[in-house]
Amino acid sequence: MTIIKNLLGGEHQDKRLRVEFSDGEIAEIKLVAVCDCDQHQECNGIVYDLISTNRQDRVKKGATCWADSVDVRTFEILGD
């Protein structure tokens, strides 16, 4: 089971989160959607608007991004 299947859900939509990804990226995001599919593992993930990241060379602030569920290591709710 992944962090998304265990902990992240629709109740977190539109919330600001601090997320740590498996590649070491730490980002502050606004969660747009949680995609949870029981039929296809590759469908599971999150769609988010990037507020800030420690990897600014990879993605621009304000971009809308996708992360696979297996890449989300931890998250913390920061607020609305």
Domain boundaries of the chain, sorted by first residue = 3-79
CA–CA separation, 42 and 25 (whole Å): 20
Q: Is 20 in a helix, a strand, or coil?
A: strand
Residue 6: in which H helix or E strand, if any? Answer: helix 3-6
Tell the CATH topology of 3-79.
Answer: SH3 type barrels. (2.30.30)
Contact (CB, 8 A) for 10 and 35? no
Q: What is the pLDDT of residues 25-56, one digit of tens each?
A: 999 999 999 887 777 677 788 999 999 999 87
Task: Tell the residue number behind the tokens 């949680």, with chain if given.
Answer: 34
C-alpha span between 1 and 79 (Å, rounded)? 25
| 14 token code pair | 């539109």
Indicate the pTM of the whole model.
0.83
